[in-house]
Amino acid sequence: GENVEQHPSTLSVQEGDSAVIKCTYSDSASNYFPWYKQELGKRPQLIIDIRSNVGEKKDQRIAVTLNKTAKHFSLHITETQPEDSAVYFCAASIGYAGYGGSQGNLIFGKGTKLSVKP
């Protein structure tokens, strides 16, 4: 089955710096790669996602890149702010066109605890 590895496990940056989190996946059939931000005791909150037919996607200070050949994808946060501090999870899944296009279950990385120091 799919296995997702995420690095680093902890990341500390100064406010205004950039942060990069990297993930690799094992199953070449995976075609959907979301990133979630989770604050302590709260729900995982989708911040950006990318599908396998796209190499890069950007939303304001957040960008995700995907290298299908190498089977890795990365999250880039620029101009970090203290409120960006949280645990970030990458995930991978397979969309099942046969089920009317329903999305398969998510396999998560172990998470990265990002701390942004003022």
Partner 1 sequence: AAGVIQSPRHLIKEKRETATLKCYPIPRHDTVYWYQQGPGQDPQFLISFYEKMQSDKGSIPDRFSAQQFSDYHSELNMSSLELGDSALYFCASSAPLSSQYFGPGTRLTVL
Sites for partner 1 among residues 60-89 (CB under 8 A): 89
CB of 76 to partner 1, least distance (A): 19
Of residues 17 and 42, the one with the C-beta less far from partner 1: 42
What size, in residues, is the chain? 118
| Distance separating alpha carbons of residues 42 and 55, to the nearest angstrom | 30
- Window contacting partner 1 (CB under 8 A); options: 18-26, 52-60, 61-69, 106-114: 106-114
101 binds partner 1 (CB under 8 A): yes
Which ranges of the chain does DSSP label H, i.e. alpha helix?
none
As a whole number of angstroms, the distance between CA 50 and CA 36 comes to 12
Residues 84, 109, 114, 116: which binds partner 1 (CB under 8 A)? 109
Sort 73 into a burial class: Cβ within 10 Å, 0-12 / 13-18 / 19+: buried
CA 72 to chain centre: 10
Which of 7, 52, 62, 104 contacts partner 1 by CB under 8 A?
104
Catalog residues that contact partner 1 under the rule CB under 8 A: 34, 36, 41-46, 49, 89, 95-96, 99-111
